Structure 1
Amino acid sequence: MHIRPFDFSEADYQAYAGVREAAHPEAPLDIAGAQHLDRTRSSSDVMARFLVEQSGQVVGVLEYATPYYDPRPGALEVRYHLRPEAQALEGALWAFLLEQLTPYAPHELLAQVRENWPEYRFFLEQGFAEVERRWESVLDLDHFDPTPFVRPLPPGLVLRPLSELPWQEEGFQRALYQLEIELLADVPSAEPITPWPFEVWQARTLSDPNLLPEGFFLALQGEQLVGVTMLFKSHRPQTLRTGLTGVRQSHRRQGLALALKLRAAEFAKTYGVRYIRTSNHQTNRPMLAINEALGFVKEPAAVLLHKELQS
C-alpha cells in the first residue's frame, strides 16, 4: 500500500470519482461540485486529502478537513472510501489518519456516511456514535400527479424563479441571504447551525456550478421574500436535487411550502428530468410529511457520527 497526497489535478479528481463509483455506485462523486467545494474553502480551514494505491492502481481516498457546512473550533471531519477489493486496508488507513491528525490536536471528529455503507460499521467500531440522521428521498415524476395537492395561493403572494429577479445585484443578494439565515435557524440539527458570512455565502451559493436560477423559486409578498425552494443540477442522470425549502414564520400554515414544492416539480418535469432528490432531518416532521404525501420514497439514511477525543 502506498498513500500519497491528492494533487487536485483533473486526473486525481477522476481517480477519486473512480473509487467512489466502485465503493458506492448509488452515490457517485459530483466532480464539478467537489472542485467547487475545494475552491471555496476558507483560508483558515484545515484540509488534506490522500489517494491510496496498490500495484499502481488507486484503490482508496482519505481526507480530513474543517467541517465545510458547520465549522467550529477543535472539530475535524474525516472521510474515506475504498474499492470493495481493498476493504481490508481500512485499519491501516485509520492508523495513518490518527498520525496525520496529531499536530492539530482536535477534540472531536465528525463523519457523514450512509447507514448501509461499510464505513458506518467501521466508524462505530472506532468509537464514533450516531448523533443525527437525514432521510435521502426520491420523487419519480413519471408517477407523480400534482392535481390532488393544488390550492390557490394566499392573497398577495406570488412565486417567481430567481432568474426573473435581480439576483446578481448585491441588495437583492443580501435580502436572499437574510431569508436563508432566518430559515436555517429553524432547521433541525444536532448542533446550532453557524451561518456563513455573507461573502462566503456569495461565493459558495451563487457561484455553485450546479446553481439553476430558473429552478430556484421564491415566494414574495410585494417585494418581501417570504419563502424559498431550490433545485440544483445534479451529476446523476435525469435528476435535479433540492436545496433549502422553507417559509418565514409569519407566513407558515398557509400551504406555501407545498405550493413551492409543486412549482419546483412542475419545473423539473418541463426541464426534462424524471427524478427529484431531497434530504430531510429525521425530526423535521412538517417537511417529511409534505414529501411523503407527494410520493417521495426514502432511501438508506445519511448519518452524522461523532467521536470525542481526549485532550
Structure 2
Amino acid sequence: MHIHPFDFSEAHYRVYAAVREAAHPEVLLDIAVLKHLDQTRAQSDVLERFLVEQGGQAVGVMEFATPYYDPKPGALEVRYHLRPEAHSLEDAVWGFLMERLAPHSPKELLAQVREDWPEYRYLLAQGFAEVERRWESVLDLHGFDPAPFERPLPPEMALRPLSELPWQEEGFQRALYALETSLLQDVPSTEPINLWPFEVWQERTLNDPNLLPEGYFLALQGEQMVGVTMLFKSSRPQTLRTGLTGVLRSHRRRGLALALKLRALEFARRYGARYIRTANHQINRPMLAINEALGFIKEPATVLLRLNPVRQKPG
C-alpha cells in the first residue's frame, strides 16, 4: 500500500471520483460540487486528503477535515472509501488516519456514512456511536399526480422564483439570508445547527455551481419573504435535488410548504427532470410527512456517527 497526499489537481479529482464510484456506485460524486466545497472553506479549516494505491492502481481515498456544514471547536470529520477488492486495507487506512490527525488533538471525530455501507460497520467497531440519521428520498415524477394536493393559495400570497427577483443585489441577499437562517433554527435536528455568517452563506450558496435560480421559489406576502423551497442541479441524469424547504412560524398552517413543494415539482417536470431527491432528519416529522404523502420513497439512511473521546489505538 502506498499513500499520496491529494494535490487538488484535476487529475486527482478524477481519481477521487473514480474510487468513490467504484466503492459506492449508488451515490454519484459531483466533482464540481466537491471543488466548490474545497474552495469555499475557511482559511482556518483543517483539510488533509490522501489517495491510496496498491499495485500501481488507486484503490482508496481518505481524509479528515473541519466539518464543513457544522464546524465545532475540537471536532474533525473523517471519511474514507475503498474499492471492494481493497477492503483488506481498512485497518491500515484507519491507522494512518488516526496517526495523521493526532497532532490536531481532536476532542471528537465525526463521520457520515450510509447504513448499508461497510464503513458503517467498521466505524461502529472502532467505538463510534450513532448520533442521528437522515433519509435520502426519491420521487419519480412520471408517476406523480399533483391534483389531489392542489389548494388555492391565500389571496395575499404569491410564489415567485429567485430568477424573477433582484437576487444579485446585496440588500435582497441579506433579506433572503435572514429568512433562511430563521428557518434553519426551526429545523428539527438532534444536533444544534451552527449558522454560517452572511459572507460565508453568500459565497457557498449563491456561488454554488448547481444553483438553479429559476427553481428556487419564495413565498411572498407583498415584499416580505415568508417561505422558501429550492431545487439544485445534480450530476445524476434527469435529476434535481431539493435544498431547504420551510415557512416562517407566523405563516404556517396555511398550506404554504405544500404549495411551494408543488410549484417546485411543476418546474422540475417542465425542466425535463424525472427524479427529485431530498433529505430529511429522522425527527423532522412535518417535512417527512409531506414528502411521504407526495410519494417520495426512502433510501437507506445516512447516519451521523461520533467518537468521543478520541483514543489512540495501542501499538
Q: TM-score, normalised by structure 1?
A: 0.99
Cα deviation, residue 310, structure 1: 4.8
Gaps in structure 1 of 5+ consecutive residues: none
Shift in Å, 1:309:
2.2
Partner Cα separation in structure 2 for residue 132 and residue 10 of structure 1: 34
* 1:186 to 2:201 alignment: no
Matched, 1:45 2:14: no
**1:78-157 correspondence to structure 2 within 5 Å:** 78-157=78-157
Matches of 1:309 and 1:62 in 2, distance apart? 21
Offset of residue 46 of structure 1: 0.6
Q: Is the 8 A contact 2:78 2:111 kept in 1?
A: yes
Letter in 1 for 2:295: G
Please list every run of at least 4 consecutive aligned residues from structure 1 whose deviation after the TM superposition is greater than 4 angstroms: none
SS of residue matched to 1:132: strand
Structure-2 residue corresponding to 1:160: 160
3-state SS of 1:80 partner: strand
Q: For residue 278 of structure 1, what is the amino acid of its counterpart?
A: T
User: CA–CA distance in 2 between the matches of 1:180 and 1:263?
Assistant: 19
1:23 equivalent in structure 2? 23
Q: Residue type matched to 1:112 in 2?
A: Q
Provide the rounded CA distance (Å) in 2 between the counterparts of 1:215 and 1:297.
Answer: 22
Alignment of 1:36 onto 2:32: no
Q: How does 1:232-243 map to 2 (within 5 A)?
A: 232-243=232-243
Tell me the CA shift for residue 153 of structure 1.
0.5
In the aligned structure 2, how far is the partner of 1:24 from the partner of 1:255? 38
Q: Any conservation in 1 of the 2:109–2:310 contact (CA below 8 Å)?
A: no
What are the equivalent positions in structure 2 for 1:226-305 lying under 5 Å apart?
A: 226-305=226-305
Secondary structure in 1 matching 2:244: strand
Counterpart Cα distance in 1 of 2:43 and 2:89: 32
Q: CA deviation at 1:102?
A: 1.2
**Alignment deviations for residues 28-72 of structure 1 (CA, whole Å, 9 cap, x no partner):** 111000000000000000111000001111100000000000001
State the alpha-carbon separation in 2 of the partners of residues 73 and 273 from structure 1.
40
Distance 1:249 1:292 in 2: 22
| Contact residue 218 and residue 225 of structure 2 kept, 8 A | yes
1:293 CA drift (Å):
0.5
> How far, CA to CA, are the matches of 1:52 and 1:241 in structure 2?
31
Give the aligned residue type for 2:277.
R
1:206 aligns with 2:206: yes
**Which deviations, in whole Å up to 9, do the C-alpha atoms of 1:63-116 show, x marking residues without a partner?**
000000000100000000000000110110110011001110001000000000
What letter is aligned with 2:274? Answer: R
Alpha-carbon distance change, 272 to 124 in structure 1, aligned in 2, over 3 angstroms: same
Q: Which residue identity is paired with 2:238?
A: Q
- Please state whether the residue corresponding to 1:267 is helix, strand or coil: helix
Alpha-carbon distance in structure 2 between the residues aligned to 1:169 and 1:256 = 26
Q: Output one character per residue of 1:3-50: Cα deviation in whole Å (capped at 9) or x when no partner.
A: 010011111111001011101101011100000000000000011100
Contact 2:228 2:246 in 1 (8 A): yes
1:68 equivalent to 2:71? Answer: no
* TM-score (structure 2 length as normaliser): 0.98
Code of the aligned partner of 1:159: L
Quote how far apart the aligned CAs of 1:190 are.
2.4
Q: After the TM superposition, which of the residue ranges 217-226 and 188-197 deviates more from structure 2? A: 188-197
Structure 2: gaps of 5 or more residues: none
Deviation at 1:154, TM superposition (A): 1.2
Q: Distance in 1 between matches of 2:154 and 2:138?
A: 28
Find the aligned partners of 2:177 and 2:13 in 1 and give their Cα distance: 31
Aligned identity (percent) is 77
1:219 & 1:308 partners in 2: Cα distance? 42
Q: CA deviation at 1:171?
A: 0.2
Amino acid in the other structure paired with 1:70: D
Q: Which amino acid aligns with 1:247?
A: V
Which letter does structure 2 place at the counterpart of 1:118? P
* Partner-residue secondary structure (3-state), 1:48: strand
